[in-house]
Structure 1
Amino acid sequence: MAPRHARALARLGPAALGLLLGALALGPALGPGYVLRYDMVFVPDPPLVLGSGGSGGFPRAVPSDQVVALLSLALPADVVQKALLLGIFVLAASGAAALLPGDRPAARLAAAAFYAWNAYLAQRLLLGQWALLLGFAGLPWAVRAAARGPTTRRGAVRLAAALVPAAVGGFQATLVTAITVLPVAALSGRPRALRAGVPVTALLVAVLSLPWLVPALGSRAVTDPAGVEAFAARADGPFGTLGSLLSLGGVWNAEAEVPGQGSWSVAAVRLVLSLVALAGFAVFARAAVAGERRFARGPAVAAVVGLGVAAVVGLGVAGLGAFAPGVLKGLIGWWPGFGPFRDGQLFIAPLVLCQALGFAYAADRLGRIGFAAAAVPVLVLPTFALGAFGRLAAVDYPDEWRRVQAVVNADPAPGALVSLPWGAHRAFAWNGGRVILDPATKMFARPVLWDDTLMVERRAGGVIRVAAEAPRARRIGALIRDGRGPLTAAFVREEVRFVLIAQKNENEFSSRFPGVRPILRAGELLLLRL
């Protein structure tokens, strides 16, 4: 390959490969309409609601929902969603490649393919956690900026820009990124820079976290320690929890698994690939420390060694809920702020990046045939393609949802909306029966009260009940579960203006709102105004 063509491939190839992999992974989800699955709920004409919407719970969708609402002022919300989803793959692939020398095109393509096509990304996408994945996609860029040193003005600006995807993603994305970039920043530059790198990086992370940190500290949300067992990493194949984590899987929700990934053959190939990648990373790290100019250049030592430290820490956090749940329960009981560590598997993100670099190093050693390595991640996890064989698809909202949205948002009177039946998730026939967070939580320019209690099936049978976080939702839930007497006066005291009921549940609730006439009855929805 001519040097000019090799340079162009190394520079532009990873982004193009990321776009191709994104199109292959999303498949039918790129059609007209919205991709709705678990936490991934985009709605038409999303309102710009500051903070957590007044629900009183932890601000999990801050500031990601606000960013989507702003972008939707210029483009239809379904187009915004598809651009963000494809952008995750492009940003991830190009970022992983950017950590490698520009004259190693095979290695850069291998890193791009591995980081943009793996079980971690697939499982989190099937959970609908697009905001977390935005931070995951920006992680290599943040590592690159931190390794170059954040202590100069230019370095600080560069790092702040690289942290923007995580900041948009919110608290989960920011925590994962912080755990990763702090060790990298600590090892960047000369000894004086080493002392200053961590405070500067921590300050930038803290400032960019203010959109979600302020409402989180001001909320009265509580964290149920029962969530430790519910959200702990789990085995998704025959090699146990540790084998699943090393294979970059192990998410707590079995419905987030890629079809067939737990079979012996697929699980074995995934584990072998991960072990090869880890071995490659170990050799890569040794080469970087030794100053091997062929592959490790510039800030490579800080990036590689810092990443290794972050991967060990992340794997430790991932194993905490699975192997030492009592420790995490004790921490949460002492301070609810430890709650985000319940879902420990999400903290193996730096391990994914380590394996991507290790795989790239191995591909580089293969010479010209190393270009074929870019196909290996897809061949190892082929059922991630085409929306995980149909688990992701694009649909449109029935007209009644838009009608209810227009009526509620046009009412100038203050007050919250309560969505019934009292539960967090719905499964609609028009969405192919896929489970999603209640769309009412995203559609209205007023606080929406809903049941954020979570019911999680145990691995050995039975159900774990994770109590609601928001005090106001707990009060509303207690009134509804009481099952006796009218709710109208109690809801008015709780400053409730609207009640949205699924019509199939109308008989269950009609007697509990005496004197209140429906203002809209459309399709599957019934709207009451108190």
Structure 2
Amino acid sequence: MPRWSTRGLPSTERPPARSLPPAWRSRAAAAAPALLGLVLGALALGPALGPGFVLRYDMVFVPDPPVVLAGQGFPRAVPSDLVVALLAAVLPAQAVQKAILLGIFVLAASGAAALVPSGGLGPRLAAAAFYAWNAYLAQRLLLGQWALLLGVAGLPWAVRAVVRGGRLRLALALVPAAVGGFQAMLVSALTVLAVAAALPAGAPAAGDPAVGPAGGTPAPGTRARPRSPWAARLRRVGETAAVLGVLSLPWMVPALLSGATTDPAGVDAFAARADGPLGVAGSLLGLGGIWNAHAVVPGQESWWSAGVRLLLAAVAVWGFVRLRGAVPYRTGLAAAAGAGLGVALLGVLAPGALKALIGWWPGFGPLRDGQLHLAPLVLLQALGLAGAVRLLAPRGAGTAGTAGATGATGATGATGAAGTVGAAGVAAAVAVAVPVLVLPTFALGAFGRLEAVDYPDEWRHVQRIVNTDPAGGALVSLPWGAHRAFAWNGGRVVLDPATKLFARRVVWNDELLVGTPGGGRIRVASEDPLAREAGEALRGEPSGRAAALARLGVRYVLEQSSDNTLQGGVTVFAGRELRLIRLS
């Protein structure tokens, strides 16, 4: 067979370049945001994906977690701990943790891309990259709040479900937030209720029989009937609130029955703080401003980082304002973002008012950590960046993924299509790279701040002793403080793992000491009534502490081997790090 060469042939006589079929290109474009989220997640987590568990602040995963219901105190880990325990009954617990952490990035990126009104690949990837790589997500991850981030990752899908209509669709979209618990549901409620209230008056109410379950066309056999626009809007908001309420029951009921209290001093402890030279407001607009200085990404406090993040925020807001086309969620999302920013500033500008609210009703306690309510602003900026890319990219670049689908005839058409695709590729690459370059030190586990380690064998040994004991009674964890810093965990601060390790009530000191920029400390009182009683017993005479704890229903005390808090009881295990004492 002769070999043919196209060299020297006119461009109109050259055979057309091979390309993927249109259906394959469409599937690849649809999967690109999720794949991008997976890549960004692997880059951000880095050493955290190695063998073992990632233990940092609130992120506490343990081997073989027991399937237990919430104890006393405010149910902050409900139902997230139960879901993790159920999954760990099928898969290794460390694999469950890594799947959840990677899933946050994938869910966030794909959801933000799905909300972009333009079908172009470049703007969709811009939204995906920004929503999966920003200061808010980085800081909350370094604080260990993976359960909150589940809800934040699912937030775009929840907004999309409200717009499309349907109670079942909304319930499914809110499953990540429901698993995450109260913080995840609060930021989701703030956003979806605002979107539901601000949808255009002609938009269908979720589940309205006159428009069908999906909220699009009349259901078969029904007749569209006139309905007051305000009545339809009120019904939509009511049904959205009902779905939120039902999915909140797993944590709301234990919270109402717990008897937990909220210390107004937490307003000063958890108020937003400046994490750079632009003050609190500048930090919040750049999606930072978290209260814990150890949750700040390395280098984030520099002028360069703060300035570039604020500039990117300005471009994103401009792009959101300029969004065109069918964007029914725009008004509602803008209102939610403004409200979230207002809550974040409340603890700084009007701490007295917030303290009064918490003193009147502890249910206002979640407003203390105002920075976490920036989640809708994060989504607004992600979608705004997509709009800015569409406006600023070369003409035709915003429709990457559709260019060339119908083919080009002639040299001019082929060259034009190639130029469009090339410009689109450059625009998409820049859009993806910008969020990463703005916050480069989030990579590789924030330069080692997130790393997987394994528990020493004695932790598993103590766990087996306690969990195989059929006798009832609680376990008190000592030393009497909420957090630990183990040498085998690289000295990283983490919530006491004993709180998750045992299949019985664990009593621990949930009182917090939070440092202030001036070097002082703010004490936030314990929320658990039983913990307060145990604290009183431990402040008594050493010879009477064991008996006082036993009267409270305590069977075991777990303490550091170097401690000598108790006198009495039977030592059933003594290792290099841990000692387990049985009181009854």
Q: TM-score, normalised by structure 1?
A: 0.93
In structure 1, which of residues 28, 31, 34 is the aligned counterpart of residue 47 of structure 2? 28
* Number of equivalenced pairs: 504
CA RMSD across the alignment: 1.3
Counterpart contact for 1:140–1:353, Cα < 8 Å = yes
Q: How far 1:206 moved relative to its partner?
A: 0.5
Counterpart contact for 1:10–1:103, Cα < 8 Å = no
Q: Deviations over 1:384-416 (max 9, x none)?
A: 000000000000000000000000000011100
In structure 2, which of residues 282, 289, 303 is the aligned counterpart of residue 243 of structure 1? 282
Letter in 2 for 1:405: Q
**Aligned twin of 1:75:** 91
In structure 2, which of residues 30, 33, 37 is the aligned counterpart of residue 14 of structure 1? 33
Structure 2: stretches of 5+ with no match in the other structure: 1-18, 205-228, 398-423
Letter in 2 for 1:253: N
**Aligned twin of 1:342:** 368
**Do the aligned partners of residues 522 and 484 (structure 1) sit closer, same or farther apart at CA in structure 2, a change above 3 Å counting?**
closer
Q: Distance in 2 between matches of 1:125 and 1:395?
A: 17
1:380 aligned to 2:438? yes
Q: Deviations over 1:294-343 (max 9, x none)?
A: xxx3xx22x11110010011011111111110010000000001001100
Counterpart contact for 1:28–1:393, Cα < 8 Å = yes
In structure 2, which of residues 47, 68, 71 is the aligned counterpart of residue 49 of structure 1? 68
Letter in 1 for 2:511: T
Letter in 2 for 1:175: L
**Aligned twin of 2:82:** 66
Q: Deviations over 1:16-39 (max 9, x none)?
A: 000000000000000000000000
Q: Deviations over 1:357-392 (max 9, x none)?
A: 000011122132321211100000000000000000
Letter in 2 for 1:160: A
Counterpart contact for 1:94–1:112, Cα < 8 Å = yes
Counterpart contact for 2:123–2:390, Cα < 8 Å = yes
Q: Distance in 1 between matches of 2:198 and 2:343?
A: 22
**Aligned twin of 2:570:** 517
1:123 aligned to 2:177? no
Q: How far 1:485 moved relative to its partner?
A: 3.4
Question: Aligned ranges for residues 429-468 of structure 1 at < 5 Å?
Answer: 429-468=487-526
Q: Deviations over 1:230-263 (max 9, x none)?
A: 0000000000000000000000000000000110
**Aligned twin of 2:478:** 420
Q: Distance in 2 between matches of 1:19 and 1:221?
A: 39
Q: Distance in 1 between matches of 2:332 and 2:375?
A: 14
Counterpart contact for 2:543–2:567, Cα < 8 Å = no
1:370 aligned to 2:396? no
Counterpart contact for 1:6–1:103, Cα < 8 Å = no
Counterpart contact for 1:10–1:108, Cα < 8 Å = no
Q: How far 1:519 moved relative to its partner?
A: 0.6
In structure 2, which of residues 235, 242, 261 is the aligned counterpart of residue 222 of structure 1? 261
1:361 aligned to 2:411? no
Q: Distance in 2 between matches of 1:341 and 1:158?
A: 29
Counterpart contact for 1:9–1:105, Cα < 8 Å = no
Q: Distance in 2 between matches of 1:171 and 1:470?
A: 17
**Do the aligned partners of residues 23 and 15 (structure 1) sit closer, same or farther apart at CA in structure 2, a change above 3 Å counting?**
same
1:162 aligned to 2:173? yes
Question: Aligned ranges for residues 69-108 of structure 1 at < 5 Å?
Answer: 69-101=85-117, 103-108=119-124
In structure 1, which of residues 173, 190, 195 is the aligned counterpart of residue 234 of structure 2? 195
Counterpart contact for 2:139–2:288, Cα < 8 Å = yes
Report the 3-state secondary structure (helix = DSSP H, G, I; strand = E; otherwise coil) of the residue aligned with 1:486: helix
**Do the aligned partners of residues 6 and 304 (structure 1) sit closer, same or farther apart at CA in structure 2, a change above 3 Å counting?**
farther
Q: Distance in 1 between matches of 2:576 and 2:456?
A: 8
Letter in 2 for 1:357: L
Counterpart contact for 2:507–2:531, Cα < 8 Å = yes
Counterpart contact for 2:542–2:567, Cα < 8 Å = no
Report the 3-state secondary structure (helix = DSSP H, G, I; strand = E; otherwise coil) of the residue aligned with 1:269: helix
Q: Distance in 1 between matches of 2:353 and 2:368?
A: 11
Q: Distance in 1 between matches of 2:250 and 2:294?
A: 31
Q: Distance in 1 between matches of 2:466 and 2:172?
A: 38
Q: Distance in 2 between matches of 1:513 and 1:95?
A: 56
Counterpart contact for 1:227–1:342, Cα < 8 Å = yes
**Aligned twin of 1:140:** 156
Q: Distance in 1 between matches of 2:577 and 2:362?
A: 38
Q: Deviations over 1:125-159 (max 9, x none)?
A: 0000000000000000000001122xxxxx11000
Q: How far 1:481 moved relative to its partner?
A: 2.6
Letter in 1 for 2:136: Y
Q: Distance in 2 between matches of 1:86 and 1:165?
A: 13
4+ long deviations beyond 6 Å? none
Q: TM-score, normalised by structure 2?
A: 0.85
Question: Aligned ranges for residues 223-372 of structure 1 at < 5 Å?
Answer: 223-284=262-323, 287=324, 292=325, 297=326, 300-301=327-328, 303-365=329-391, 366=393, 367=397, 368=424, 369-371=426-428, 372=430
Letter in 2 for 1:327: A
Q: Distance in 1 between matches of 2:239 and 2:514?
A: 40
Counterpart contact for 1:114–1:356, Cα < 8 Å = yes
Report the 3-state secondary structure (helix = DSSP H, G, I; strand = E; otherwise coil) of the residue aligned with 1:417: strand
Q: Distance in 2 between matches of 1:338 and 1:231?
A: 13
Q: How far 1:458 moved relative to its partner?
A: 1.2
1:171 aligned to 2:171? no
Q: Deviations over 1:4-59 (max 9, x none)?
A: 56533431100000000000000000000000000000000000111x2x2x2100
Q: Distance in 2 between matches of 1:327 and 1:434?
A: 35
Q: Distance in 1 between matches of 2:116 and 2:48?
A: 32
Select between 188-197 and 109-118 the one with higher mean Cα deviation.
Answer: 188-197
1:184 aligned to 2:195? yes
Structure showing greater Rg: 2
1:397 aligned to 2:455? yes
**Do the aligned partners of residues 137 and 394 (structure 1) sit closer, same or farther apart at CA in structure 2, a change above 3 Å counting?**
same
**Aligned twin of 1:152:** none
Q: Deviations over 1:91-133 (max 9, x none)?
A: 0000000002462111110000000000000000000000000
Higher helix share: 1
Q: Deviations over 1:210-247 (max 9, x none)?
A: 11000000011110000000000000000000000000
